Structure 1
């Protein structure tokens, strides 16, 4: 079985490292301590004989739909003409099981995101990247992918999640950007009175619900001085998860009491929620930048902006990430 590289695929430069690495070259990532430039990043037009380039096929599996990574895949074609990237989307609800099954059958992808732990490392699925890449990253970035002093994956690129809103709808009803949860519900009330769903959300995916309520937890507790102490204690086994999350989960039920989140949303897929947002039926949608390409395709003239996830106490707000 060929060894598999375990890496995140949400960051352009991180992926460039990995694909170039297949050809014994390297580049840099924002979390790297030093940079290196690929030796051969010529486009096919710049090559003397582009037809003579022998392509290496690389299969990349991740849970983002292909529409959200089109620009990235095109950049691979432009910058890495000797690499033929086959992108495989796997729904995040089944991603781990599918990948582990493929790996066990000796048919796993060349590059994957996640699915690394002490057990999978012991099976020998993953390439040892220590010599080539360990010195290029800070230990804080590599620690989660290091086992027995060997590096098996590159650091996860950062991502964020906030609340997108329809700029024109907010302007039409003279709505101000909310800075607290109470202000958010006031905005929601105005929208409902005018026949607009305040926020589209596909609660059929538990990950979506989790990100929604974690925004509250970050604002009201985890991001506070008290919360940071709890986090340190939790790492030492001296505090409980329920202490941080139960109050936020209780507050999150206010979305239900105010009729922002409704029972039917429990059966709503994220794709259906996106359609409600891009069609103007809903004014807000919580997500990260991975859906921007989808928004543009479905509603190219729609004006969209974003504000951070809110808490009950105000302040700058937090992006879940």
Structure 2
């Protein structure tokens, strides 16, 4: 999963089993090594007096190689043993090791897993280090007032747009949701399809609507606590999200999203956009290569999603992983030195080297993004990258239910209240297990 500028980027398959993050079938590391349960702290290089700690991740070593090289220089007294565990076995192996009081010293965690492990007392609170990160990144790793993992480089999705089509039709980039609706109407009146969408999949409606709810509600003082309250059974989606989804539904009422699109898959929508058949297409950096291969001359950029008030905009996305500390580690001091080194500008830059296309949640850290992401630079700089279902804990998998229910809503098979009630019921059932 080697990352290069404008090539395969973080969480290509984030199709969004998203909660689990990126998987890898690389041979780097092995499942055999993953099944080892050596006691932490016993391996020490006697010749150099280095402390050896173990770091586990579902991504192969090449996706963090620059970071490991940096850590070897920044924290020379610590030797990091990198352990790749295939994504299909990752949670099972980590759960088994932690329940036995063992496991890696540093664990790369998805938000749902971090919450589960924090509740069980397996993770060390990292509040001091987490204070240097934006709440958009740390909130998904919070439990009972503390933060239990440090967010890694983000994955994100916005709205790709064809700059040439915009220029030919004298269309300015929108800065609010209402302006976005006006842009779509302008294209429709000019005989141009505003947005290509493969609604055969549940993902586009999920992301588009949730991005709007994020910009309009979840990012506000009133809405910031919704995710935690939702997973604690203190609020429901039905009765809270309704007015925001009703506003977003103007995209359906105005024919931007149509029932016919449920017969189109992702690849067909991508080709429609890449070949000039639409002005816009919602996706992330993982689709960049496929788009440009179909049309190398395409003038491509990406804009964020907006709410009704003017802002830097929001991208749907989240941390590719969170770096957590095993509370049972015999070398917590060394672990915290490593995590502190990652939590620096140099550490974030090193992590980004193999994950270009994402953004950092560490305050004050910005990356030089490829030209195709010029128009989302403001949102990325503001840390406005958020994935609502990451805060649902063990019910995070219900995001697929939300997406499929939104398909039914689009088709007129049910009203909005029924749509949201169904999601609430599935979330409640998952949280009760």
Distance 2:201 2:271 in 1: 16
Distance 1:303 1:289 in 2: 15
Which shifted more, 237-246 or 134-143?
Answer: 134-143
What is the CA deviation profile of residues 126-161 of structure 1, one whole-angstrom value per residue up to 9, with x for unaligned ones?
A: 77388664336699796247385668xx98863111
Aligned partner of residue 226 in structure 1, secondary structure: coil
Distance 1:294 1:33 in 2: 30
Aligned residue in 2 for 1:252: 248
Aligned residue in 1 for 2:215: 219
Distance 2:232 2:113 in 1: 20
Following superposition, the deviation at residue 167 of structure 1 comes to: 0.8
**Partners of 1:217 and 1:244 within 8 A in 2:** no
Aligned residue in 2 for 1:266: 262
**Partners of 1:7 and 1:156 within 8 A in 2:** no
Following superposition, the deviation at residue 281 of structure 1 comes to: 0.9
Please point out which of 142, 145, 160 is paired with 2:156.
160
Which shifted more, 223-232 or 268-277?
Answer: 223-232
Cα distance, 1:252–1:114 mapped onto 2, change above 3 Å = farther
Following superposition, the deviation at residue 175 of structure 1 comes to: 1.0
Cα distance, 1:144–1:293 mapped onto 2, change above 3 Å = farther
Aligned partner of residue 163 in structure 1, secondary structure: strand
What is the CA deviation profile of residues 144-198 of structure 1, one whole-angstrom value per residue up to 9, with x for unaligned ones?
A: 47385668xx988631111110011111111111111211121112211222100
**Greater relative contact order (Cα < 8 A, sep 6+):** 2
Cα distance, 1:204–1:142 mapped onto 2, change above 3 Å = closer
Compute the TM-score of the two structures, normalised by the length of structure 1.
0.60
The 5 A counterparts of 1:26-41 are 36-37=71-72
Compute the TM-score of the two structures, normalised by the length of structure 2.
0.46
Distance 1:34 1:241 in 2: 45
CA RMSD of aligned residues (A): 4.3
Distance 1:111 1:265 in 2: 35
Distance 2:167 2:215 in 1: 27
Following superposition, the deviation at residue 249 of structure 1 comes to: 2.0
Please point out which of 111, 124, 128 is paired with 2:97.
128
Aligned partner of residue 220 in structure 1, secondary structure: helix
Distance 1:140 1:260 in 2: 33
Aligned residue in 2 for 1:55: none
Aligned residue in 1 for 2:117: 146
Cα distance, 1:200–1:258 mapped onto 2, change above 3 Å = same
The 5 A counterparts of 1:17-96 are 36-37=71-72
Aligned residue in 2 for 1:296: 292
What is the CA deviation profile of residues 87-112 of structure 1, one whole-angstrom value per residue up to 9, with x for unaligned ones?
A: xxxxxxxxxxxxxxxxxxxxxxx612
Distance 1:17 1:140 in 2: 24
What is the CA deviation profile of residues 50-86 of structure 1, one whole-angstrom value per residue up to 9, with x for unaligned ones?
A: xxxxxxxxxxxxxxxxxxxxxxxxxxxxxxxxxxx9x
Aligned partner of residue 311 in structure 1, secondary structure: coil
Displaced runs of 4 or more, over 4 A: 15-30, 32-38, 113-116, 124-127, 129-132, 136-142, 147-151, 154-157
